[in-house]
Amino acid sequence: MSSNYDNNGQYSRHSILRYEQIFGHGFVSSGGMKLTKSFCDRLTFSNNTRVLDIGSGLGGAAFYMAEKYGASVVGLDLSEVMIEIANERAKGISNVEFHLADVLTMDFEENSFDLIWSRDALLHIPQKAELFALLAKWLAPGGQIMISDYARSANKVSSDFQDYVDQSGYDLLDVETYGALLTEAGFQHVKNEDWSQQFMEVLRAEQNTLRHDREQFLQHFSHEDLDYLVERWERKIQFCLNGDMHTGLWHGK
């Protein structure tokens, strides 16, 4: 895959900074730091936990785990701009490194990591079974996996939602099927959590922040950018309300 992959323009520098404005510093996923902290609270960290962050984006979660828990974090992302910005921010921090790479092309040794983490990135990867087999190999015995991702209804979805998924280039599974794939790959005690309700609340809060801080937003971005984000968020809320769209959290060993 090309190294300047930007997912149909979704991750150009302008759009990344626009997304960061809504998600909070270091993040391009809903809930930003708040959810990262709450997901990390469920994990066990020891001294020097080796973490792989897949689709690490701007590195918000990697920096947090490195600083708060003393973890050694390797972040992978196939967006050149994400890695460029993350590396600018990583200067002087010894226990975080970011690499430009498609996770599917990586060849880590067995048992390389104690925690495999990914937030809202695997929606871009159709080859999930292939990926999970690799992750099972890279995770050390007793290690943990935590993935949050977009998901879909197990039933037939509306054509509007299907268009949104297709246009965004997403590959979505329902929450149970996703968890079953992880189990098939060899992960144990996989807990599937549908957190769509919480996701909707987060989307509403982010939408409100955007409306409330519109003057500040408009100092850096256009009215068109603002309308685009408010409308895109509204669309996601409606997809969640009508049951087409879900979000899942999967935690296993």
Ligand X SMILES: C[S@@+](CC[C@H](N)C(=O)[O-])C[C@H]1O[C@@H](n2cnc3c(N)ncnc32)[C@H](O)[C@@H]1O
Residue 52 in contact with residue 134, Cβ under 8 Å?
no
Q: Out of 15, 24, 27, 132, which residue is the one contacting ligand X (CB under 6 A)?
A: 27
Q: Which two tokens stand for residue 86?
A: 């993350």
Which part of the chain contacts ligand X (CB under 6 A), choosing from 25-33, 155-163, 183-191, 224-232? Answer: 25-33
Q: Verify binding: residue 30, ligand X, rule CB under 6 A.
A: no
Compute the distance between CA of residue 150 and CA of residue 246 in angstroms, rounded to an integer: 6
Question: Which of 33, 31, 2, 29 minimizes the C-alpha distance to 16?
Answer: 29
Residues recorded for the chain: 253
CA angle (169, 171, 176) in 5-degree steps = 155
Question: Which of 30, 49 has the CB closer to ligand X?
Answer: 30
The verdict on 24 binding ligand X (CB under 6 A) reads no
Strand arrangement of the beta sheet that strand 245-252 belongs to: 96-100, 72-77, 50-54, 113-119, 139-152, 245-252, 191-194
- Give 76 or 146: the residue with its C-beta nearer to ligand X: 76
Query: Per CB under 6 A, which region of 48-56, 63-71, 85-93, 175-183 contacts ligand X?
Result: 48-56
- Residue 98 or 217: which CB sits closer to ligand X? 98
Structure tokens at 227: 């309308």
State the number of binding residues for ligand X (CB under 6 A). Answer: 23
Amino acid identity, position 186: G
The candidate with the shortest Cα–Cα distance to 191, out of 117, 128, 250, is 250
> Binding to ligand X (CB under 6 A): which residues in 51-90?
54-57, 60-61, 76-79, 82
Range 103-132, binding ligand X (CB under 6 A): 103-104, 119-121, 124-125
Query: Min. distance of Cβ 155 from ligand X in angstroms?
Result: 25
Q: Smallest gap, in angstroms, from Cβ of residue 156 to ligand X?
A: 26
Q: What is the closest distance, in whole angstroms, from the C-beta atom of residue 6 to ligand X in the complex?
A: 8
Q: Kindly state whether residue 249 participates in binding ligand X, applying the rule CB under 6 A.
A: no
CB of 158 to ligand X, least distance (A): 23
What is the biggest distance separating any 2 CA atoms in the chain, rounded to whole angstroms?
A: 51
| Min dist. Cβ of residue 97 to ligand X (A) | 14
The piece of 100-108, 152-160, 179-187, 202-210 that touches ligand X (CB under 6 A) is: 100-108
Q: Report the DSSP beta bridge partners of residue 251.
A: 146, 191
Closest distance of CB 199 from ligand X, Å: 13
What letter represents residue 110's amino acid? E
Q: Residues 213, 122: contact at Cβ < 8 Å?
A: no
User: Could you list the residues that contact ligand X (CB under 6 A)?
Assistant: 11, 27-29, 54-57, 60-61, 76-79, 82, 102-104, 119-121, 124-125
